[in-house]
Amino acid sequence: MTKSKISLLTAIAALAIFSGRRALAQTATVHGHVTNPAGQPFTPGEVKFTKDRTVEYKDIKFPANMIFPIDANGSYTATGIGPGDYFVFVVQGTTTADRVDLTVKSTDTDITLNDDMTREEYLKTMTPEARKALEEYKKKNASTAAINAVIGKLNTTLKTVQADLAAAAPTKGDVSADVAMMKEATDAKADEPVLWTNYGNTLLAQGDHLAAEDKKAGKPSSGDADAQKDYADAVEAYKKGIDLDAASKKPNPVNEAAAYNQMGNAYAHSGKGTEASAAFESAVKLSPANAGMYYKNEAVVLYNASQYDQAVAAADKAIAADPKAADAYYIKAQSLVTKTTTDKTGKMIPPPGCVDAYQAFLQLAPNDPKAGEVKVMIESLGEKVQTKFKVGK
């Protein structure tokens, strides 16, 4: 056979093979987003594709490859959709929510098909009862969204304020901006106990700032009307927070106790020792687990008010609640030492328990800045510092 004949036969064979092949149909990818009548993502659910447009949904047999899930965001992606006219059903469980028409051309490869059920055309198909229920839901949802937005903003405010107070505490810095923020917060949600407590904290801190500035200037803080007003307003804020918490469905005694403790500090800083002492006692009743701290604070207030007998009593309560509370022993000793007398020879006679309280303080807090002062005091009272003093002696 000649070369030319071989080439011709090869060409004929190739043509026969080519002619026997079936052309592959081109398919498209359809993707989109489904929105429910309330304007939210329609989920969970499925989209189902069918070319059978002659029967009702319940009678259609959907192939598995024509059913596609709707994700948590209300989106779906359908692949392998060939050319033709389709009904696309949006389904949730056994309920058909909506149906949209789709025509896929032979040249289509990527199609976007969204289904927005907030369209007026769809809403008109709803029953009056369903429309009414939808409107009520949208109103409630809008109200909830507004509340959540307020709460989100308030939580951010609280974090900012608490950070500011912590930063300002060592130097008693100006926190007037935080006072304004917490005032705005309580105005926005006046029924939230924690906001009132934090509002009180900012007022107390600002009062301390003004008092510190007066001290630097050599002025008596008790004469600063602005500082006194801040302390008074702080007390009222703490009271409001406590009352709201006590009246709530789930009262939190520990939070109320913390507010009473801060109230005690506000009273003390404004020179109202009796009221401060009562506030600390209230804190103890609500949170016995923190009694040591609250009694110690009461002892400090009473000592600063020169009510030494009452300060000793409060210090003893603090020690009974927490035998390792070094400062409680110090306050007790400082209160007792004021009652030191002298004998005929001029020797100082401290009241019972005074030196022991000093010794206990040194044993518990040997590196405290006040330790040197306490050692001198013990020796001035004619006693020796005991390096192995047993607390509770």
How confident is the model over 362-389, as pLDDT tens digits?
Answer: 999 999 999 999 999 999 998 998 877 6
Mean pLDDT of 206-224: 84
Query: What secondary structure letter does DSSP report for 41?
Result: B
Least confident of 125-129, 135-139, 327-331, 376-380: 135-139
C-alpha to C-alpha distance for 359 and 362, rounded to whole angstroms? 5
Calculate the CA 355 to chain-centre distance: 47
Assign 333 a pLDDT band (cuts: 50, 70, 90): very high
More confident residue, 306 or 2: 306
39: tokens are: 């304007």
Mean model confidence pLDDT for the chain: 88
353 contacts: CB under 8 Å, gap ≥ 6: 332, 336
Angle 263-241-277 from CA coordinates, rounded to 5°:
20
Which pLDDT does position 343 carry in this prediction?
A: 87
Res 144: pLDDT: 62
At residue 91, does pLDDT exceed 90?
Answer: yes
Residue 13 has pLDDT above 50, yes or no: no
d(CA 375, CA 385): 6
The residues near 304 (Cβ < 8 Å, ≥ 6 apart) are: 268, 273
Angle (CA) 146-149-150 rounded to 5° is 90
Residue 148 above 90 pLDDT?
Answer: no
Contact 29, 78 (CB under 8 A): yes
Structure tokens at 32: 């989109």
The strand pairing partners of 116, in sequence order, are 35
Mean pLDDT of 184-208: 93
Q: Report the alpha-carbon distance of residue 354 to residue 393 in Å, rounded.
A: 12
In angstroms, the Cα distances linking 200 to 180, 186, 203, 225 are 12, 11, 5, 17
- Judged by average pLDDT, the poorest of 155-164, 167-176, 247-256, 382-391 is 382-391
Name the percent of the chain lying above pLDDT 90: 69
Instruction: Classify 48 as helix, strand or coil.
Output: strand
Say if CB 275 and CB 238 are below 8 A apart: no
| pTM of the shown model | 0.62
Please report the pLDDT score of residue 244 as a whole number.
96
Query: Where do the domains of the chain lie, and which CATH numbers do they carry?
Result: 28-131 (2.60.40.1120), 145-269 (no CATH)
pLDDT of residue 138: 81
Which tens digit of pLDDT belongs to each residue from 22-34? 555 689 999 999 9
The whole-angstrom separation of Cα 361 and Cα 246 is 38
Query: Helix H segments across the chain?
Result: 3-20, 120-123, 128-168, 176-188, 193-216, 225-247, 253-269, 273-286, 291-304, 308-321, 326-337, 354-364, 371-380
Q: How far is CA 170 from CA 6, 179, 360, in A?
A: 102, 18, 28
Cis peptide bond upstream of 37, omega within 30: no
Q: What is the mean pLDDT of residues 154-175?
A: 91
- Cα separation, 389 vs 361, in Å, equals 10
Res 250: pLDDT: 93
Please give the pLDDT value at position 19.
46
Helix (H) or strand (E) holding 78: strand 75-81
